[in-house]
Amino acid sequence: MQHNRIIALAFAVAIVLIIITYNSDSQGNSTVNDLEKNTKNITENTNEKDTMNFEIKKSEDVWKDELSEEEYRILRGKGTERAFSGKYNLHFEGGEYLCAGCGNTIFDSDTKYSSHCGWPSFYDVDSSKVKTVEDRSYGMVRTEVVCAKCGGHLGHVFKDGPEPTGLRYCINSVSIKFKKDTTENK
Ligand SMILES: [Zn+2]
């Protein structure tokens, strides 16, 4: 009898341990907040730029030839235009924004909003159009946003944007080119 009780007790302890283990796992997962879920796709490519394969590959000389000096400085050299200086900062026409390096359609004007930060800001993007890279320059840890096709530097993404994504894609006007929506009923 005593022996059976010990076995029953051991069994009960084992079950409790399994439950505790399971709960701590799911608690770990539940600490991932909605914002992080939203940014999961964005950040999972972080740090992969060196090994990223971009469809469009050109030598620096060719890029220098094709781009203006300012475009080259920003798109290929990760530069930043002066705040409030960009032509699309306060531009709110309906249409699309293409990569200035390769013409890849990237942002939709529907997701553009006034963030007052001094650069064109979007709260969403089709995740297949961009890649993100951890950027530790200037003593900050930021998430760089590059064109998925040519690797051109577009800007950075921050987690202080509006709902529903909570994201702010802070983009250089120089890195994008606006294409007006010419379809009716937009
Ligand atoms: Zn591009």
Run of H or E including 133: strand 130-135
Q: What's the gap in Å between 26 CA and the centre of ligand 1?
A: 40
Q: What's the gap in Å between 74 CA and the centre of ligand 1?
A: 12
Report CA dihedral (113, 84, 173, 77) to the nearest 10 degrees: -130
Residue 26 has a pLDDT of 42
Catalytic residue among 99, 147, 150, 170: 170
In the annotation, is 170 catalytic? yes
Q: What's the gap in Å between 68 CA and the centre of ligand 1?
A: 15
Residue 14 has a pLDDT of 63
pLDDT tens figures, 74-108 = 999 999 999 999 999 999 999 999 999 999 999 99
pLDDT tens figures, 27-84 = 444 333 444 444 444 444 444 555 678 999 999 999 999 999 999 999 999 999 999 9
Q: What's the gap in Å between 103 CA and the centre of ligand 1?
A: 6
Decide: pTM greater than 0.75.
Answer: no
5 band by pLDDT with thresholds 50, 70 and 90:
confident
CATH of 34-180, one of 2.170.150.20, 2.40.50.140, 3.90.1150.10, 1.10.20.10: 2.170.150.20
pLDDT tens figures, 133-150 = 999 999 999 999 999 999
The structure tokens 């921050």 sit at 158
Q: What's the gap in Å between 86 CA and the centre of ligand 1?
A: 18
d(CA 76, CA 168): 22
Residue 185 has a pLDDT of 52
